[in-house]
A and B are shown apart, each in its own frame.
Chain A
Amino acid sequence: MISCHWIDRRAGALLCLAVASCIAPSAVYAQSSFAKVIDEVQPKIVKIFGAGGLRGLEPYQSGFLISGEGHILTVWSYVLDSDVIAVYLNDGRKYNAEVVGMDPRTEIAVLKIGAEGLAHFNLDEAVPLDPGSRVLAFSNLYGVAFGDEEASVLKGAVAAKTDLAARRGAYETNYRGAVYILDAMTNNPGAAGGALTDRRGQLAGLLGKELRSSLTNVWLDYAIPVGEIATTTDEIIAGRFRPTPPMEDTKKPKEPHSLALLGMQLVPDFLPRTPPFVEGIKAGSPAAKGGVRIGDLVLFVNDRVVQSCKQLSHELTFVDRLDPLKLVIQRDQELVEITLELE
């Protein structure tokens, strides 16, 4: 039933395309090469190498420049969970990137490299697309390109603009906004973070992480419209969602929060970066009253990303126990915001 529904939708979208190409003067260029357009876009695309390498976890992804000063928009993933994130520009120049910040709600991240005068997309100039629009997808899928080799380009069309939340539970993602469903196999391993443009090379979307429907087992080819993430991106650049703990010389309160006071116990801290999963909650404690549950993964403490048990404990030492503590928690496929207060 579900799969039939999908085929119907796709067929409909293709019909749209067929109809559009009969009446739109733009189709005059149907036969000409995209080579010129692609040449202009390629300098804005970057190849990102970081953590991973175990089976099924490719240590690379894609990204694109959004400022002349080296800001790069990409997806937030395990690839960025590395001390060294290598970024290659299309001319082969290599930089070590820093994570400016990340937002787990939209699963995007902004990186920064130390370069200036770079070709880049301007998020303000991104174009909205309708079903039937021809698109080009730029990414380093399968890690095909390395060094000065250019990103891969796939062509296709927007099959539909729809809401991923309509399929709540079918896809493992925190993202709840609108997406472009694409009639092209854009979302292969390593493609996440790549750029979706219209056929003139104008930015339209960010290729999302690989998603497979748990209902149909079908891999989704999609992109997140720039309009859905532009504000968050600006916020990240402005300094929200900082991933790093405060500097060591930041003044700490005399009586800070602690896990014991909150009544929370995390999983044993065996790894260099053990994800901060909640393993135990003391009955009647602030954590229990606030609604924290066993199995929750803590993502943010007062809008600071915490990537490990150590970081979470460390972060608590900067918050006075008299102040409320805001946690963002991932619970299954939901993001939950909880405020805890000591009595």
Chain B
Amino acid sequence: MRIATLAGLWLTIAMVQGPLAIAEVSEVAPAVLSAEQQRIAAIAKATRSAVAVFANGGNGGGSGVVITPDGYALTNYHVAQPAGSYMKCSMADGQLYDAVIVGIDPVGDVALIKLLGRDDFPTAVMADSDKVAVGDWCFAVGNPFLLATDFQPTVTYGIVSGVHRYQPPAGTLLEYADCIQTDAAINPGNSGGPLYNADGDLIGINGRGSFEKRGRVNVGVGYAISINQIKKFLGCLRAGRIVDHATLGATVSASDDGRVMVSNILETCDAYRRGLRYDDEIVRFDGRPIRTVNAFKNALGIYPKGWRVPLTYRREGQEHEISVRLMGVHAESELLALLKSAKPEPGPERPDGNPPPDGDKPERTPRPMPMPGGARPRPEAVKVPPEIQKMIEPRESFANYYFNKLEQDRVWKAATASGDFAAATGNWKFTGTMTVGGQAAAAPVEVALGESVSKGTFPTGPAAVDEKQDLDAQLDPPESGGLLAALHLWRQLLVAGPAKFGEVHYYGEAPYAGVAGLADVLVATRNVAEMNLAFDPANGRLAVLELTIDTDVDPCELRMSDYREVDGRQVPHQIEVRRGDGIVGTISWSQIEFLPAGEAKP
């Protein structure tokens, strides 16, 4: 019986082979040949930038992809984590490169590493992954089962099976929000590798798959972190940081009629201060309509801690649009403790017999597993060559502080290119007018910024700041949240520079009002104050300064513009002072003087 079936099948083949035998090659439709050539070209282009990651000391490995000519490459956190700070990477050119860790995003399962030794690495082109549609052809390039011992990557072809998928985290780490699902084979070792569209452009980073009964091999259900999410984190990763994801400070749940409602909210979060309350309906987040809890998790899960995102809520039929600064999923110490203790293993399944909660993910959906290749991590001492050791600088809260210094230097160099204030050590005297509520105040605004004491006269009266005292009691003028203190610290930073000012680090990139694209952000801490300084990458200038004294209240925000030259330095002549949702006032300086050191202010 079995033989008969087999014979039947071969017969079928013979019949099909008949016409082939007489078919000339020239009869192949040109469109077929052209499609074939397109695919060959896309794969050839894409494989050049693919990376096979091998952890030193035999701690497994995975895949990656180079995105800049100087060697910055993306991989998974769960691939880089066991490898430590230093790893070896091979590429399709047959070369083995040293690589160091740059930054990690443990919640998003992304790590940025840097391959060393070239400034002309082949790079992947990052596509717009929001344009990816179910049914599009795609392919994964990588190092499944760590097969790339000959340095040649493996290519697996498939289609996009789903978009905007939400795959829950293990605890609070390894959450795949808004990810891409594919049936291209994703196997252990493919983790961290690129998922390309049919043109060979990068749409995601493969990281996990759904498995269950068939063992830890591909079953046609792999997930890739969307490249659009990673674009938002790239600046923070380049900062050498341990980057946290964002949360609203509120939880949501679906109502009986399927609307997404605020079910709990922290009174200390920015969303609360902006007006969001318990039982408000979330209508849109980041411009995306929110109809399910998963849709909300997808929209939120692609943001780094600290970004501002527009949110629309509905209360009593009325829609309100607010801009919310997102807080971290973890407290900083909490995230560090998690990374020290927890292995990034998926949590246990929690099977129960209840029907799935409306609008939410059924809890008992099998947890997709991350896909590192090879052995589980076994920490082993690895000898790092001295010239590479110089590029590894451990520091609390950072994956590699070496890269933070690089970025600090870059931003500061650009910021001071049009004005070096290091020599302006005397008093800085400003005279101008302040517009409050559209009306120019009658009395002029005068400010004198000094080395340790600054004074000013505002429409609300005189104000003073003495840095020898705690700044939290010196937040004049009233309602500004510390306008004079902010100006004072601004002068100190410009004069001292980041190295001498106090604790300064590069945050990464974030959107800020008045900056096209993303701003470079420095965080500077002194006294009890923390400043966020957003620089416009187009001209290097400081665009926004935010002074935070207490994270539970709104910061004082200074938007600086109208840069003009004073004594050979570019200085902002207009400052919009904002607090929360409102404008405190707009200051226009008519006169700015940098007095020589030692000269008393008038």
Question: Does B bind A?
Answer: yes
B220 in contact with A59 (CB, 8 Å) = no
A49 in contact with B362 (CB, 8 Å) = yes
Q: Which residue of B lies closest to A42 (CB)?
A: B134
- The segment from B161-169, B262-270, B308-316 that touches chain A is B161-169
B221 in contact with A54 (CB, 8 Å) = no
**Hey, which chain B residues are within 8 Å of A9, CB to CB?**
6, 9
- 22 CB < 8 A contacts A-B: A13-B9, A22-B20, A27-B32, A33-B136, A38-B134, A38-B135, A59-B364, A92-B292, A141-B221, A143-B362, A144-B165, A146-B359, A146-B361, A147-B359, A148-B291, A152-B162, A153-B134, A154-B183, A154-B220, A166-B1, A210-B213, A212-B213
B365 in contact with A143 (CB, 8 Å) = yes
A216 within 8 A of B: no
**Hey, which chain B residues are within 8 Å of A342, CB to CB?**
none
**Hey, which chain B residues are within 8 Å of A188, CB to CB?**
210, 212, 219-221
Smallest beta-carbon distance A92→chain B, Å = 6
**Hey, which chain B residues are within 8 Å of A141, CB to CB?**
210, 220-221
Known contacts A19-B17, A185-B219, A49 near B356 by CB under 8 Å: yes
**Hey, which chain A residues are within 8 Å of B210, CB to CB?**
141-142, 144, 188
B133 in contact with A35 (CB, 8 Å) = yes
- The segment from B23-31, B328-336, B404-412, B521-529 that touches chain A is B23-31
- Main secondary structure, interface of A, reads mixed
B19 within 8 A of A: yes
**Hey, which chain A residues are within 8 Å of B162, CB to CB?**
144-145, 149-150, 152-153
Known contacts A12-B9, A22-B20, A35 near B351 by CB under 8 Å: no
Tally of contacts, chain A with chain B, CB under 8 A: 181
Smallest beta-carbon distance B348→chain A, Å = 11
Q: Which residue of B lies closest to A141 (CB)?
A: B221
A250 within 8 A of B: no
Out of B31, B159, B359, name the residue touching A153 (CB < 8 Å). B159
A23 within 8 A of B: yes
Smallest beta-carbon distance A27→chain B, Å = 5
**Hey, which chain B residues are within 8 Å of A94, CB to CB?**
258, 358
B residues 563-597 in Cβ contact with A at 8 Å: none
Give the bracket for the number of chain A residues in contact with chain B: 35 or more
Known contacts A35-B134, A148-B292, A219-B214, A19 near B20 by CB under 8 Å: yes
Give the bracket for the number of chain B residues in contact with chain A: 35 or more
Out of A38, A49, A53, name the residue touching B351 (CB < 8 Å). A53
Smallest beta-carbon distance A301→chain B, Å = 29
Q: Which residue of A lies closest to B214 (CB)?
A: A219
A202 within 8 A of B: no
Smallest beta-carbon distance A146→chain B, Å = 6
A149 in contact with B362 (CB, 8 Å) = no
> Bound complex: CA of A142 vs CA of B17, how far in Å?
40
Smallest beta-carbon distance A26→chain B, Å = 10
- Main secondary structure, interface of B, reads loop
**Hey, which chain A residues are within 8 Å of B161, CB to CB?**
152-154
B137 within 8 A of A: yes
A184 within 8 A of B: yes
B355 in contact with A30 (CB, 8 Å) = no
Quick one: CB contact mask for A198-218 with B, threshold 8 Å, 1 for yes?
000000000000101000000
A131 in contact with B12 (CB, 8 Å) = yes
Known contacts A8-B6, A16-B12, A31-B137, A184 near B32 by CB under 8 Å: no
**Hey, which chain B residues are within 8 Å of A35, CB to CB?**
133-136
B366 within 8 A of A: yes
A31 in contact with B38 (CB, 8 Å) = yes
A5 within 8 A of B: yes
**Hey, which chain A residues are within 8 Å of B2, CB to CB?**
5, 166
7 A-B pairs besides A30-B36, A49-B362, A146-B294 with CB distance below 8 A are A19-B17, A28-B29, A33-B133, A51-B353, A131-B12, A142-B368, A154-B220
**Hey, which chain B residues are within 8 Å of A210, CB to CB?**
213
